[in-house]
């Protein structure tokens, strides 16, 4: 025996993974003739270690990839990591602050160098963890979002969009994070609820409400709805003088439909520099805009005596001053509103007007399917036209809704870690600023200075599916045009568009939509055909795992040594449906550790049999159990294959679990002990290991290697098994046999006795399989009496004239069970005959269902007759 009694995963996993690597099992081959299957791995951020969420996506993608490989495809799962601009930058700045310095002191070059060191070690940790999860990714094609080739793609994309007028530089209102000192996109803004004080101030003849008195210094426009009759006497453009924070000011009346007359007094003043809505009103009417708050959140000169003060300190002082002037009309301390924060770091967002780079999403100049379209229109049409399928489909609605609300995308960031904007500026002879945008710096760099900003991480991530497939060396040859580069990239030609994008629903907008946008634009192709969205893994109590509750965090790498990677993988997909969140379940991991051990012991049993009874010849079913197991395995081979292909991972897993445990382990292996068929037993084991492999790669491959199974040396390269022929009638006979054994067990358990004598009257199945029945039902013996039953308890669930010969004394105790059974049978008969008595059912339901119902009714009725006879006999005992 090579296999020890229990499966201990950590004894085998690292070696098995290394064996796969050594044999190049995961390496794709674009020159093969096989159909291709591609997944671009969503690159994890290089900020630390793998989370349970990473473990989930690695499992799902690995199942798909291994299944594709087994389906005879050239499967490429392309791995990578993300430079994670904003989070990494924040970590670095914090580290520098700790050391008493900052990025400006050490300079850009040194900053980049130190950041590379940091992410380098973090990357190695993460790659090791991904391998520990069993990820069958092609590590020879490992990519990084800051690779030189990707940088070229970034510059190509930026330049092309700039030349097409789709990227522009403009002073617009942005989401400014004073903590991280950068702009962020709309999608990175999160709203958190807050209770604050809502003030109502007197402002000339009006009363205005605000939660932010500190922004009000420069307010000189008072806005109301044009149809608000309370203010009908004031005309658009009227001016008036009002006493305000730092003395009298001239104010102008503006009428605008953005104002809700029902809110507060229906009048407000605006601060265009620090509010999105106010900015839009000011733009509509061509109003002046003035900055009040600087980039650190301090008040500017316009605040007079408050100049230089932080807004939070200044707020109460400003209110105090207004109160002293008698301008405070009302204060509501329980005002509920939400405040915008950066989802990274939770810094409060201060809108500012800044000169930034933007992508225009509304300009219809992009060629797509022969039409000039805007980015918005392309995003809509690829999903509407079915080029891309989102799974589950309910996310279509979210996706379209997001597009409808999409505004121009601010892509520049005031941080150093990332792809630098490929734009250069110089002041020309006439004093005007010139701008140069290009893939390469200007030919003569003298006088030009490069834009200091970097691009939003998602801008480079948006190029991920194809930038990773272009020839990495050719990308450095700038003689080649971008189109030539694509043509000369074998991987791009073989593997793009990719087959499926598997990712979390939380980055549908951030990433999936932006990949579609940039990829259709640059390559003329969709990035992927299907989008499969998984949910979040939450803590066992249903709440988010969070750093503030360290005990809530499940570390996948801590689970693996104790339970094994396979158990972790299966726990993560068990009972989980696409797009739905799941709670971590300790019970699930234990159940799957046990399942792995079950597989192990199924192999161990087979190993023992084969040692004494070497398999010879082709596997062919002989006994009833053989025919039955071949039938069951063949059915499930097809179904599980289909389920994986259609992304029903949980159901595929469920079928595998019960096939192995219930059908094979509990029935077939036990039955085989009565009538050995070593060749078939071996076939069953090999087949089950092959279909279990995508789910449980380690235990299946370990057994394969330890027992030197199969026609191939490595299970990971084996094709999905073929079915073999069986006799359906014999398989059905085994079902009858199962019924005899099960019912015998039930009677024995109900009456709680051991042994027992089973008699039958010329049952061929019972006499042919006497030893099997005796063994599995744990009987004393079995005999054919030829005579009809006269005493004991009849088995009524089959038509084989079998009965348990036991004393009338004990048999009478079965009366209660018989009564229950009678009730159940009558209920079942009532249900089905009611259905059949309904002419509409017989007429409209499919013929197959109707005939099934008839057969079922027939069966129940004969069972009822037998049970009733028995019942009356017991009554008279």
Distance in Å, CB of 387 to RNA, minimum: 21
Distance in Å, CB of 6 to RNA, minimum: 4
Distance in Å, CB of 599 to RNA, minimum: 9
List the beta bridge partners of residue 371: 368
Distance in Å, CB of 601 to RNA, minimum: 3
Distance in Å, CB of 640 to RNA, minimum: 10
Give me 334's structure tokens.
């329980």
Q: Closer CB to RNA, residue 495 or residue 595?
A: 595
Q: Closer CB to RNA, residue 40 or residue 461?
A: 461
Between CA 465 and CA 526 the distance in angstroms is 10
Q: Closer CB to RNA, residue 212 or residue 325?
A: 212
Q: Closer CB to RNA, residue 97 or residue 258?
A: 258
Cis peptide before 497 (omega within 30 of 0): yes
Q: Closer CB to RNA, residue 276 or residue 289?
A: 276
Q: Closer CB to RNA, residue 46 or residue 187?
A: 187
Q: What is the 3-state secondary structure (H, E, C) of 795-818?
A: CCCCCCCEEEECCHHHHHCCHHHH
Q: Closer CB to RNA, residue 245 or residue 469?
A: 245
- Say how many CA atoms lie within 13 Å of 284 toward its Cβ: 13
Q: Closer CB to RNA, residue 417 or residue 695?
A: 695
Give me 390's structure tokens.
């989102």
Please provide residue 705's backbone torsions phi and psi, each rounded to the nearest 5 degrees: -70, -45
Q: Closer CB to RNA, residue 314 or residue 486?
A: 314
Q: Closer CB to RNA, residue 577 or residue 705?
A: 577
Pairing of strands 189-203, 328-342: antiparallel
Distance in Å, CB of 736 to RNA, minimum: 15
Distance in Å, CB of 398 to RNA, minimum: 6
Give me 163's structure tokens.
């030349």
Q: Closer CB to RNA, residue 403 or residue 716?
A: 403
Between CA 119 and CA 121 the distance in angstroms is 6
Give me 22's structure tokens.
């050594």
DSSP code of 347?
A: P
Q: Closer CB to RNA, residue 64 or residue 470?
A: 64
Between CA 431 and CA 541 the distance in angstroms is 64
Distance in Å, CB of 522 to RNA, minimum: 26
Give me 212's structure tokens.
């932010």
SS3 333: strand
Distance in Å, CB of 542 to RNA, minimum: 5
Cα–Cα distance list, 422 to 156, 440, 453 (Å): 9, 8, 9
Distance in Å, CB of 586 to RNA, minimum: 8
Distance in Å, CB of 773 to RNA, minimum: 13
Answer yes or no: are the C-beta atoms of 51 and 90 closer than 8 Å: no
Between CA 789 and CA 522 the distance in angstroms is 82
Q: Closer CB to RNA, residue 138 or residue 663?
A: 663
Sorted by sequence, the CB contacts under 8 Å of residue 137 that are 6+ apart come out as 26, 41, 62, 65, 77, 78, 79, 130
Buried b (16+ CB within 10 A) or exposed e, 490-526: ebbebbbbbbbbbbbbebbbbbbbbbbbbbbbbbebb
Sorted by sequence, the CB contacts under 8 Å of residue 214 that are 6+ apart come out as 292, 293, 299, 303, 306, 311, 314, 315, 318
Instruction: Write the DSSP string, 681-709.
Output: HHHHHHHHHHHHTTTSHHHHHHHHHHTT-
Q: Closer CB to RNA, residue 473 or residue 852?
A: 852
Sorted by sequence, the CB contacts under 8 Å of residue 475 that are 6+ apart come out as 148, 149, 152, 153, 485
Answer yes or no: are the C-beta atoms of 734 and 624 closer than 8 Å: yes
Distance in Å, CB of 131 to RNA, minimum: 24
Distance in Å, CB of 569 to RNA, minimum: 15
Tell me which residue has tokens 């003739």: 33
Distance in Å, CB of 580 to RNA, minimum: 4
Please provide residue 221's backbone torsions phi and psi, each rounded to the nearest 5 degrees: -120, 135
Give me 119's structure tokens.
């992410």
SS3 225: coil
Q: Closer CB to RNA, residue 208 or residue 782?
A: 208
Distance in Å, CB of 365 to RNA, minimum: 25
């Amino acid at each position: 025996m090579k296999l020890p009694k229990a499966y201990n995963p950590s004894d085998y996993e690292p070696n098995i993974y290394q064996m796969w690597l050594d044999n190049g099992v995961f390496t794709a081959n674009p020159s093969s003739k096989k159909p291709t299957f591609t997944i671009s791995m969503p690159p994890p951020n290089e900020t630390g270690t793998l989370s349970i969420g990473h473990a989930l996506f690695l499992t799902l993608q690995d199942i798909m990839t291994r299944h594709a490989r087994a389906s005879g495809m050239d499967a490429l799962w392309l791995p990578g990591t993300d430079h994670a601009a904003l989070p990494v930058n924040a970590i670095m700045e914090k580290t520098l602050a700790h050391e008493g310095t900052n990025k400006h002191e050490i300079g850009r070059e040194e900053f980049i160098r130190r950041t590379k060191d940091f992410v380098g070690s973090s990357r190695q940790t993460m790659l090791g963890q991904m391998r520990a999860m069993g990820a069958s990714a092609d590590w020879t094609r490992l990519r990084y979002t800051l690779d030189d080739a990707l940088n070229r793609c970034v510059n190509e994309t930026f330049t092309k969009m700039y030349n097409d007028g789709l990227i522009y530089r403009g002073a617009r209102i942005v989401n400014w994070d004073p903590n991280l000192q950068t702009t962020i996109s709309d999608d990175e803004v999160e709203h958190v609820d807050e209770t604050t004080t809502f003030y109502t101030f007197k402002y000339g003849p009006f009363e205005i409400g605000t939660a932010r008195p500190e922004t009000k210094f420069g307010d000189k426009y008072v806005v109301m709805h044009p149809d608000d009759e309370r203010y009908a006497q004031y005309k658009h453009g009227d001016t008036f003088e009002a006493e305000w924070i730092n003395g009298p000011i001239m104010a102008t009346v503006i009428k605008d439909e953005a104002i809700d007359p029902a809110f507060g007094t229906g009048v407000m003043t605006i601060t265009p520099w620090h509010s999105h809505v106010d900015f839009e009103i000011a733009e509509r009417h061509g109003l002046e805009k003035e900055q009040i708050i600087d980039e650190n959140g301090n008040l500017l000169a316009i605040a007079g005596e408050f100049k230089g003060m932080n807004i939070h300190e200044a707020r109460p002082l400003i209110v105090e001053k207004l109160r002293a002037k008698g301008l405070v009309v009302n204060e509501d301390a329980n005002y509920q509103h939400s405040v915008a924060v950066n989802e990274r770091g939770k810094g409060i967002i201060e809108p500012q007007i800044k000169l930034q780079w933007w992508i225009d999403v509304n300009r219809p100049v992009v060629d797509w399917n022969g039409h000039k379209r805007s980015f918005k229109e392309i995003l809509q049409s690829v999903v509407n036209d079915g080029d891309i399928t989102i799974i589950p489909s309910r996310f279509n609605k979210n996706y379209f809704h997001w597009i409808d609300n999409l505004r121009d995308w601010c892509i520049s960031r005031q941080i150093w870690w990332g792809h630098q904007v490929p734009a250069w500026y110089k002041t020309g002879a006439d004093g005007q600023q010139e701008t140069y945008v290009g893939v390469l710096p200007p030919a003569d760099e003298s006088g030009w200075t490069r834009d200091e900003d970097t691009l939003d991480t998602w801008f480079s991530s948006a190029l991920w599916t194809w930038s990773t497939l272009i020839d990495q060396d050719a990308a450095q040859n700038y003689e080649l045009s971008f189109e030539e580069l694509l043509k000369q990239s074998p991987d791009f030609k073989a593997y793009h568009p990719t087959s499926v994008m598997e990712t979390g629903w939380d980055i549908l907008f951030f990433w999936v939509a932006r990949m579609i946008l940039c990829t259709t634009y640059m390559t003329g192709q969709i990035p992927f055909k299907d989008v499969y969205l998984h949910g979040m893994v939450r803590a066992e109590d249903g709440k988010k795992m969070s750093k503030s509750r360290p005990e809530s965090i499940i570390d996948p790498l801590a689970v693996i040594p104790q339970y094994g990677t396979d158990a972790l993988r299966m726990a993560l997909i068990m009972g989980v449906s696409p797009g739905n969140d799941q709670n971590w379940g300790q019970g699930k991991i234990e159940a799957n550790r046990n399942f792995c051990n079950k597989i192990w012991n199924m192999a161990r049993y087979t190993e023992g049999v084969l040692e004494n009874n070497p398999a010879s010849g082709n596997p062919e079913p002989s006994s009833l159990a053989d025919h039955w197991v071949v039938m069951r395995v063949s059915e499930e081979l097809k179904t599980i294959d289909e389920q994986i292909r259609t992304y029903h991972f949980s159901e595929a897993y469920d079928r595998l679990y019960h096939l192995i445990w219930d059908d094979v382990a509990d029935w077939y292996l036990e039955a085989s002990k009565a009538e050995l068929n070593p060749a078939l037993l071996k076939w069953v084991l090999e087949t089950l290991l092959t279909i279990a492999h995508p789910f449980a790669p380690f235990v299946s491959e370990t057994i394969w290697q330890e027992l030197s199974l199969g026609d191939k040396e490595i299970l990971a390269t084996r094709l999905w098994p073929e079915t073999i022929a069986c006799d359906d009638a014999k398989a059905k006979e085994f079902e009858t046999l199962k019924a005899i054994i099960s019912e015998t067990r039930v009677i024995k358990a109900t009456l709680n006795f051991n042994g027992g004598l089973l008699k039958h009257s010329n049952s061929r199945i019972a006499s042919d399989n006497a030893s099997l029945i005796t063994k599995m039902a744990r009987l004393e013996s079995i005999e054919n009496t030829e005579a009809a039953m006269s005493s004991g308890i009849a088995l009524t669930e089959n038509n084989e004239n079998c009965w348990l010969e036991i004393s009338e004394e004990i048999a009478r105790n079965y009366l209660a069970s018989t009564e229950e059974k009678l009730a159940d049978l009558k209920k079942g008969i009532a249900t089905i005959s009611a259905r059949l008595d309904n002419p509409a059912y017989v007429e409209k339901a499919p013929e197959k269902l109707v005939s099934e119902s008839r057969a079922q009714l027939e069966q129940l009725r004969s069972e009822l007759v037998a049970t009733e006879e028995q019942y009356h006999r017991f009554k008279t005992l």
